[in-house]
Amino acid sequence: MYKYFIFILCFVYWSVQINGQTILTPFERSNGKQTATYDEIIDFYKQLSNKFSSVQIMQDAPLSADAQYPLSTVIFNGKHLGNDTVVTILINNGIHAGEPDGIDACMMLMRDAATGKVKIPDNIVLVVIPVFNIGGVLNRTNYSRANQAGPESYGFRGNWQNLDLNRDFIKLDAPETHSLESIFHIFKTDIFIDNHVSDGADYQHIMTLLATQHDKLGGETGAFMNDVFVPLVYKDMKKRGYDLVPYVNDFRTTPDNGWTEFYDPPRFSSGYAALSHIMAFVPETHMLKPFDQRVKATYELMCSFINIASVHAKEIKSARKNDIKTTLGQLEFPLSWKVDTSKFAMINFKGYEAGYKASNVSGMLRLYYDHKKPFTKQVPFYNYFVPDKMVTAPQYYVIQQGWKEVISRLSVNHVKFVQMQNDTTITLSVYRIEKYETQNHPYEKHYQHYNVSVTKHTETIHLIKGDYLIPTQQEAKRYLVETLEPTGPDGFFAWNFFDAILQEKEYYSDYVFEDVAAQMLEKNADLRKLLDDQKLKDTVFAKDGRAQLDFVYRHSPYYEPEHMRYPIFRID
């Protein structure tokens, strides 16, 4: 109890005097029990902006949320924006509105920066999204986080469309995500932080840290993040009184034997950031720790990120600049990754012994963690990944203007286009979807495709004025490859944006086509041989008249070329 009393006194000490009035956050006024409401959050930042020239709040109309509120950004040191030597840190809060630790921590951080309590170096521009999931914050309850120790009430994980926004960064179903991706590019983000609260196993650590997978981030930035930046954060946080541990990515067993690093494809915020060579971090406070401890840990971690980024600003800027340049000349790109089980790091894990006892609910055995039996041990952390699927980038992708949903998503990501000035017919590389599987259950409004296999050939395609050529020699090259290749596990095909090609629009009446097919076989020896060869290879096919008729149809001019033809073409 004594340490909590000291903790609250510290927060009261951090309060700021403006015109003789103490401005405290709702978190501080409630002795660390409550998180701010949406109106309290925005009002707080407006007060700071009105009193301090170093703080600006932006509520531009184009940056909107599904709750019809503007998505706000708060900027500290904004006068330095655009300086090539300045590192821009973008902090996102409340993407899961029931995990509000970052919301309250950043309110205090920005206030303390404005009053000089915390020094933000001149080579750092700090951009804070006070609350991202506005619909979720407005949907305030006491019960949606059954495994979380406080605050007293909080928002909901889903937005007003009931979407989990941290699964939306490729598919862009939510207006909030459109806005955030614009913010990434508007502010030329160098470091991205997305504050969360964990779920899963029980352990002693208050704060865990998910860094975007360093091999997947790649290049100088990935190496610098893994070898220099992250170790410095761990060292600095230990001085601040926190033993960090990587995000405990173990939900089926107890973590005392180690675990594999969380793999973050670009549907997640950190994986999306990696497509633009941005170091990304997802702080995950432990859900069973008291809310006040979690907020304080988040506050300290934000300070640590700022200080280390300032000291190493030149390396961060240089690495990212070099990686962007290297990617322009890169030919082969990984589409998916798998863990390298032969390599791992040993980490210091502070856990609790786990056991099983009879459940008071079912009478069956249930898992529990014994807080009377804490332990500290070295465990393996499998944090090395290798490419699993590779693809060669074309010189251009070609997309017809009718695919507006995809074009709009490319535009949000500042992709550069060249529109056709005249109708033309051109020979292009074309994929055909040969096989794919589809999930049986919906995932964030989609039935995802997976295990996609394709064949590739050349085909003469008629393009009309206004269709798009997309050069890959641009900063968005990696984003283009991972979203536009049909076998990409997080690409636009996987997310159902091209499902219209999977259904035939025309077919035939067999009694009519029988005579047409017979004439074709009589006149076309190659087609006859193709049919006969298929009969020899497949005895079931040889006994199925309808299958043979369909075979002839699909190898005839009557079969629509659009069916199963992937509508993103390539100039190789």
What are the pLDDT digits (tens) for 380-422? 999 999 999 999 999 999 999 999 999 999 999 999 999 999 9
Q: What six digits make up the tokens of 43?
A: 């009002």
Closest CA to 44 of 65, 63, 18, 69: 18
6 has pLDDT over 70: no
pLDDT on residue 5: 41
What lies within 8 Å, CB to CB, of 26 at 6+ separation is: 34, 35, 36, 37, 40, 104
Beta strands, E only, 103-220: 124-129, 191-194, 196-197, 207-211
Residue range 33-329 forms a domain whose CATH class is alpha beta
Q: Identity (one letter) of the amino acid at 468?
A: Y
Question: What is the mean predicted confidence (pLDDT) over 35-44?
Answer: 97
φ, ψ (nearest 5 deg) of residue 363: 80, -10
Partners of 571 in the beta sheet? 396
Closest CA to 413 of 476, 472, 493, 485: 476
Question: What is the mean predicted confidence (pLDDT) over 181-203?
Answer: 95
Number of H helices, E strands in the chain: 18, 22
Tell me the C-alpha distance between 172 and 244, whole Å.
32
Closest CA to 571 of 428, 424, 418: 428
Q: What six digits make up the tokens of 129?
A: 């999204």
In tens, the pLDDT along 124-169 reads: 999 999 999 999 999 999 999 999 999 999 999 999 999 999 999 9
Contact 166, 102 (CB under 8 A): no
Question: What is the mean predicted confidence (pLDDT) over 517-539?
Answer: 96
Domain-by-domain residue ranges, the chain?
33-329, 392-572
3 has pLDDT over 50: no
pLDDT on residue 250: 85
Q: What six digits make up the tokens of 389?
A: 């699927």
Instruction: Return mean pLDDT, the chain.
Output: 94
| Contacts by residues 350-357 (CB-CB < 8 Å, ≥ 24 positions apart) | 350/203, 350/204, 350/205, 350/243, 350/245, 350/374, 350/375, 350/376, 351/201, 351/202, 351/203, 351/204, 351/254, 351/255, 351/256, 351/375, 351/376, 351/377, 352/202, 352/203, 352/204, 353/256, 354/254, 354/256
In tens, the pLDDT along 323-333 reads: 999 999 999 99
Closest CA to 134 of 167, 156, 118: 156
Tell me the C-alpha distance between 451 and 437, whole Å.
6
Q: Identity (one letter) of the amino acid at 161?
A: Q
In tens, the pLDDT along 534-561 reads: 999 999 999 999 999 999 999 999 999 9
Contact 129, 72 (CB under 8 A): yes
DSSP-assigned states of every residue in 486-530 = TT-TTSTTTTTTTGGGGS-S----HHHHHHHHHHHHHH-HHHHHH
11 has pLDDT over 80: no
What lies within 8 Å, CB to CB, of 517 at 6+ separation is: 549, 552, 553, 556
pLDDT category, 1, cuts 50, 70, 90? very low
pLDDT category, 8, cuts 50, 70, 90? very low
Tell me the C-alpha distance between 443 and 439, whole Å.
8
pLDDT on residue 12: 43
